[in-house]
Amino acid sequence: MATSGMLYLVPTPIGNLKDITIRALEVLQQVDVILAEDTRTSSKLLNHYQVNKPLSPYHQHNEHKIVQHLVDQLLAGKTMAVITDAGTPGISDPAFLLVRECIRNNIKVETLPGATAFVPALVNSGLTTNRFSFEGFLPLKKGRHTLLTKLATEERTMIFYESPLRLVKTLADLITYFGAERKCSVSRELTKMFEENARGTLQEVHDHFQTKNVKGEIVIIVEGSDT
């Protein structure tokens, strides 16, 4: 009977290609197949480090369809690594479903430490880090009002991800629900040449980005309520 394989969750750089660990590269060189959120994006990183392993697409649009096939392969003894376009798999990116099924089937899962966007954005914000709440992407429509109403009284520092196209609108919504004077920090293009960290009140940061052509991945840090 074949011995079960192993699943590795491997963080990839969020911008600067140097932000990958030696161990991550070793794992990527050793596994049988690499599951990539976008094979075109991942190929650039893997080619840079001369990692020549089969790539298979694994993303939110196909993960439910292929999860059992992946589990079967792992049970048959294959080793796999999951990588995303940037950062740690499972943080607002695919991985949870496969990890859950691996645990149910007694397949070993190992997660490597590495890059993730919200940690440097939080530490760099100047807001309290002893207690925080990671909220990821806000709902676009359904549930947005309910969640923001609830978060208005959240006492912990809050962390949001956002796209550059929705940044100004989201900041305007945060002003509506949290108040214009709530302190915040917006980080974009982290670890890249044009990294920017804009700090101030929600109103000040909103006004700063309102007249700019915003690009890059966005992390919003908002101080908790003091009421």
pLDDT for 4 = 80
**Which domains can be identified in the chain, with CATH numbers?**
6-111 (3.40.1010.10), 118-222 (3.30.950.10)
Local structure of residue 12 (DSSP, 8 states): B
**Side-chain-side CA neighbours of residue 55 (13 Å):** 18
Residue-wise pLDDT tens digits, 131-170: 999 999 999 999 999 999 999 999 999 999 999 999 999 9
With cut-offs at 50, 70 and 90, classify the pLDDT of residue 1: very low
First to last CA, the chain: 61
Strand partners, 184: 200, 222
Local structure of residue 131 (DSSP, 8 states): S
User: What whole-number distance in Å separates Cα of residue 173 and Cα of residue 178?
Assistant: 8
Local structure of residue 2 (DSSP, 8 states): P
Q: Determine if the pTM surpasses 0.85.
A: yes
Please state the φ and ψ torsions of residue 60, each to the nearest 5 degrees: -65, -20
**Closest to 64 (Cα-Cα) out of 97, 90, 96, 91:** 97
Opening angle at CA 108, ends 106 and 109, nearest 5 = 125
Residue-wise pLDDT tens digits, 2-55: 568 999 999 999 999 999 999 999 999 999 999 999 999 999 999 999 999 999
